[in-house]
Amino acid sequence: MEGEALVSYALVRACPNCGAKNRVGAKHLTANARCGSCKTPIGPVSTPIDVDVAAFDEIVAAAEQPILVDFWADWCGPCKMAAPEVHRLAQEMSGHALVLKVDTDAHPDLGARYRVQAIPNFVVLKKGRVVTQHPGLAPRGQMKQWLEQAT
């Protein structure tokens, strides 16, 4: 099929009105999606997205908006402290940015790709390129500022 690309990653989101499951492709995660069944607005993704390598690569390649990537691990105390702030940031930046979470124990190759040596580690990407990278805890306001500067 000339001019078409196979999209393999899609986030399944339930409609708040009718409960229908809707597949939202990587390119449309920050868009104001509508339910395929009842046409109710679903809105852009407003939570962090846990990704594997394939989903990460596809989302980063398709995203028009900046992305904050939270590299973390389940055993990491500071990562657990950062998680609620990262979640709130995803809500605040919904429609303007994406927040991805990469478990460095499950996907060490992604951590290695970005030279993550300490966690938590935050990387801001725009059009697939690193805009900024910061190891260690950071307040939500600082993370928001990184994303706004990348816009």
Say which amino acid occupies 65: Q
Q: Is 79 a catalytic residue?
A: yes
Tokens of 3: 């001019």
Q: Which residues pair with 132 in a beta bridge?
A: 124
Cα(131)–Cα(142) distance, rounded to whole angstroms? 14
Angle between helices 140-150 and 77-92 (to 10 degrees): 50
Q: Which residues pair with 70 in a beta bridge?
A: 101, 122
Question: Under DSSP, is residue 114 helix (H, G, I), strand (E, B) or coil?
Answer: coil
A 10 A CB-CB count for 119 gives 22
Q: Is 15 a catalytic residue?
A: no
Question: Under DSSP, is residue 5 helix (H, G, I), strand (E, B) or coil?
Answer: coil
Q: Which positions are annotated as active-site residues?
A: 76, 79
